[in-house]
Amino acid sequence: MTKAKIRFGPAGIGGMRQAPKNLERYHKQNLSAAEIPFTYQVWMNNNQAKEIGKIAKKFNVKLSIHAPYYINLASYDKKKIEASKKRILNCCERGHYLGVKYIVFHAAYYSGRPEKEIYEIVKKAVIEMQKVIKKKRWKVKLAPETTGKKSQFGSLDELLKLARETRCFFCVDFAHLLAREGKIDYKKVFEKLKRFSYIHSHFSGIEFTSKGERRHKITSEKRLKELLTWIKRYNLSITIINESPQPYKDSLKGLKIWKSLK
């Protein structure tokens, strides 16, 4: 059996000035991943992306991108759908120059409509964006994320079906799965994931209600150990991006627990 590879890293690299030092610091602490959150806008140009990409490669930090939160591929307003696709494609372009493979995003809201209807709308948008990616020869993969609210498109089953039918990828946010369902059956989740050679994921502590996610919080050692024990059991190669209020410290916490399990 091939030994699984695991990467830990935070959401965030700082701005253009801080990024080089932060990437070096991650490397020195054996963190080998980081996600660039373009939360409100894509804040770097292609030349800057090339620069950051070279530094990340030098320090063996595997980068990914989280697209802006202002995305709804199933909006009633067609202009908002087009604007959402544009934001995602802007991330794809930047990701290409960064050397990033996965472009993570929250795809859509149900807005009271049937889940099957929203699935088909999202599927159509993903296919359209993939045609642009192919035409531009950008070496990136769309990775819609499991979402933490029941009002949002993004259950694990929806994303696995989307990946199967469009050949996009996906991001498993384990904290979102917990918040969305109120509990998490790791055996059931990993039985669905075991056929993949690699998983891109998020994890953190999370506060939630009956409607789902409220906010991210510090990651507990107990929750981290539970997740990592299942990853070890299934021997999965995985990247875990931490999105807690202290993503750097919690990534180090995860790495420490992983070493203790080994």
User: How many CA atoms, within 13 angstroms, populate the side-chain half-sphere of residue 257?
Assistant: 21
Note down pLDDT in tens along the chain; length 262 residues. 567 799 999 999 999 999 999 999 999 999 999 999 998 889 999 999 999 999 999 999 999 999 999 999 999 999 999 999 999 999 999 999 999 999 999 999 999 999 999 999 999 999 999 999 999 999 999 999 999 999 999 999 999 999 999 999 999 999 999 999 999 999 999 999 999 999 999 999 999 998 989 999 999 999 999 999 999 999 999 999 999 999 999 999 999 999 999 7
pLDDT given at position 1: 57
119 domain-assigned: yes
83 domain-assigned: yes
How many helices (H) does the chain have, and how many strands (E)? 9, 12
142 domain-assigned: yes
Tokens of 176: 């979102």
Q: Token match 């980068």: residue?
A: 63
**CA gap 62, 35 in Å, rounded:** 8
250 domain-assigned: yes
Cβ atoms of 146 and 172 within 8 Å: the answer is yes
Residues 6+ apart with CB under 8 A from 24: 55, 59
Domain that holds residue 236: 6-261
The domain that contains 58 carries what CATH number?
Answer: 3.20.20.150
**CA gap 148, 131 in Å, rounded:** 29
Tokens of 162: 């989307």
1 domain-assigned: no
Total structural domains within the chain: 1
**CA gap 258, 224 in Å, rounded:** 9
Number of C-beta neighbours around residue 101 at 10 A: 18
131 domain-assigned: yes
* Diameter over CA atoms, the chain: 51
114 domain-assigned: yes
186 domain-assigned: yes
Output phi, psi for 254, to 5 deg. Answer: -65, -45
| Cα Rg of the chain (Å, integer) | 17
